């Protein structure tokens, strides 16, 4: 890999040589044995596929990637998008090529995918506690950066013991949590104790403060935003105490928070910490957000809570849709679709019926008043008003979806349409590695 590359372009391009077959449930049987490139050369369209199906919208992906990249530049913050949302190196490359600092990941398996595709800067939004993972990170190539989080003195001791026979030094951030939250030291004082343990460690270098505000709220009402902002203020206090105590290691310092729901609050509260170092005589300090779902966005949870949706100014665009066929219409007002939990996300809201037509890729009409009321493993229950809507077996329904993080993990190959609402030619195939 060229050391100037944020990700290995040849490794990403190599996905075009992969052969498609029965293991890829989105791929038509007629494409069995063809390569990615050969398949696209035939200019396939949505009509060539079968249901159930997940598709992506090319204009939405581009617009969303451009929108947040520009916003980060305007606000002087770094972006390390959470790659676990898509686990798709092709989309990581789009984010990195727009200036993202690196990719954030959640576990050891995901780190291995990133290394396979030559991602140079990686953040593990978690603590390293598996000895295999600790040693693997310690052996990272010299031209890569791996940041990880630590939230307890016990974790410090575990890493120290695992690396005791080496000269390795890992760059780590002390993680602040909150009562009732996810991981992280439960108070500023507790986080300071963790940092002091790091200062006595041979194999750790403290390079910042990390946290995740999204586990403390699930709404954008006054109570939710107050909880988020109070937590972020504690992150700022922790950083200021570490800075005043000279507890950071040599080099730059990172403060990182921010999923796809509250990244505007992260920047509002924490951007005063950004520094070149010249002002204070201390280290340079960067603020890094980790939004991941934004590039896909949705027609559910993120549509309602994204800062750009709340502000009403150039919101992100929904970049994914589900397609399902009616397999049964057993009683008035009820249809069973051939897509369920194994195919589409349901944890942050059920799919939303949007359009109906007689064929996949054919003309479709709005499906007003219909709703998905529940999903089984392979079926969705759709209710509708039989007085105003006719639904027959074989009809195709387009579904709006909520939560891309639990959509992508169900598909190894995802077709990208030139325009979901217009030209439905397939212009790419996205490969995922969960």
pLDDT per residue, tens digit, the chain (434 aa), is: 344 599 999 999 999 999 999 999 999 999 999 999 999 999 999 999 999 999 999 999 999 999 999 999 999 999 999 999 999 999 999 999 999 999 999 999 999 999 999 999 999 999 999 999 999 999 999 999 999 999 999 999 999 999 999 999 999 999 999 998 899 999 999 999 999 999 999 999 999 999 999 999 999 999 999 999 999 999 999 999 999 999 998 889 999 999 999 999 999 999 999 999 877 778 999 999 999 999 999 999 999 999 999 887 789 999 999 999 999 999 999 999 999 999 999 999 999 999 999 999 999 999 999 999 999 999 999 999 999 999 999 999 999 999 999 999 999 999 999 999 999 999 999 999 99
pLDDT confidence of residue 4 = 54
pLDDT confidence of residue 314 = 87
- In order of start, what are the domains of the chain with their CATH numbers? 1-58+297-434 (2.40.37.20), 120-291 (3.20.20.10)
DSSP-derived secondary structure for 371-388: EEEEE-SS-EEEE--TTT
Q: What is the maximal distance between C-alpha atoms in the chain?
A: 75
How many Å apart are CA 304 and CA 220, to the nearest integer? Answer: 9
pLDDT confidence of residue 2 = 41
Q: How far is CA 400 from the centre of its chain?
A: 18
For residue 161, give both structure tokens: 């013991």
Full-model pTM: 0.96
Q: Which residue do the tokens 């077996």 mark?
A: 393
How many Å apart are CA 356 and CA 379, to the nearest integer? Answer: 17
How many Å apart are CA 305 and CA 310, to the nearest integer? Answer: 7
pLDDT confidence of residue 281 = 79
- What SS3 state is found at 109? helix
pLDDT confidence of residue 412 = 97
pLDDT confidence of residue 277 = 85
Q: What is the pLDDT of residues 69-121, one digit of tens each?
A: 999 999 999 999 999 999 999 999 999 999 999 999 999 999 999 999 999 99
pLDDT confidence of residue 29 = 93
pLDDT confidence of residue 66 = 98
Q: Cα torsion for 226, 232, 238, 239, to the nearest 10°?
A: -150
């Amino acid at each position: 890999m060229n050391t100037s590359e944020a990700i290995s372009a040849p490794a990403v391009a190599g996905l075009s040589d992969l052969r498609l077959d029965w293991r890829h449930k989105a791929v038509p049987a007629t494409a069995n044995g063809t390569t990615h490139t050969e398949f696209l050369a035939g200019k396939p369209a949505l009509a060539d596929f079968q249901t159930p199906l997940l598709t992506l919208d090319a204009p939405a992906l581009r617009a969303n990637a451009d929108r947040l990249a520009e916003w980060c530049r305007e606000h002087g913050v770094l972006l390390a998008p959470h790659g676990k949302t898509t686990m798709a190196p092709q989309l990581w490359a789009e984010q990195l090529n727009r200036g993202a600092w690196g990719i954030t990941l959640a576990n050891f398996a995901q780190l291995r995918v990133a290394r396979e595709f030559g991602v140079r800067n990686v953040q593990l939004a978690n603590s390293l506690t598996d000895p295999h993972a600790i040693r693997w990170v310690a052996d990272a190539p010299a031209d890569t950066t791996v940041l990880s989080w630590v939230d307890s003195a016990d974790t410090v001791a575990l890493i120290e013991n695992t690396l005791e026979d080496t000269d390795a030094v890992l760059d780590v951030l002390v993680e602040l949590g909150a009562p009732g939250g996810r991981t992280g030291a439960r108070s500023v004082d507790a986080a300071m104790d963790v940092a002091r343990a790091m200062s006595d460690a041979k194999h750790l270098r403290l390079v910042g403060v990390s946290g995740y505000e999204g586990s403390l709220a699930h709404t954008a009402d006054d109570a939710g935003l107050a909880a988020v902002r109070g937590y972020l203020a504690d992150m700022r206090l922790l950083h200021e105490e570490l800075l005043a105590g000279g507890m950071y290691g040599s080099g730059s310092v990172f403060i990182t928070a921010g999923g796809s729901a509250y990244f505007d609050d992260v920047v509002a509260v924490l951007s005063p910490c950004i520094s070149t170092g010249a002002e204070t005589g201390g280290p340079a300090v960067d603020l890094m957000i980790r939004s991941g779902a934004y590039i896909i966005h949705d027609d559910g949870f993120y549509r309602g809570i994204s800062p750009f949706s709340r502000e009403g100014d150039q919101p992100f665009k929904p970049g994914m849709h589900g397609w399902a066929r009616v397999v049964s219409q057993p009683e008035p007002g009820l249809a069973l679709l051939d897509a369920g939990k194994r195919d589409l996300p349901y944890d942050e809201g059920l799919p939303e019926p949007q359009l109906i037509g007689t064929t996949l890729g054919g003309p479709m009409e709005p499906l007003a008043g219909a709703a998905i009321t529940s999903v089984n493993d392979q079926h969705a229950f759709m209710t509708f008003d039989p007085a105003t809507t006719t639904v027959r077996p074989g009809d195709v329904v387009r579904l709006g979806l909520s939560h891309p993080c639990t959509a992508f993990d169900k598909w190894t190959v995802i077709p990208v349409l030139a325009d979901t609402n217009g030209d439905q030619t397939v212009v790419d195939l996205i490969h995922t590695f969960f």
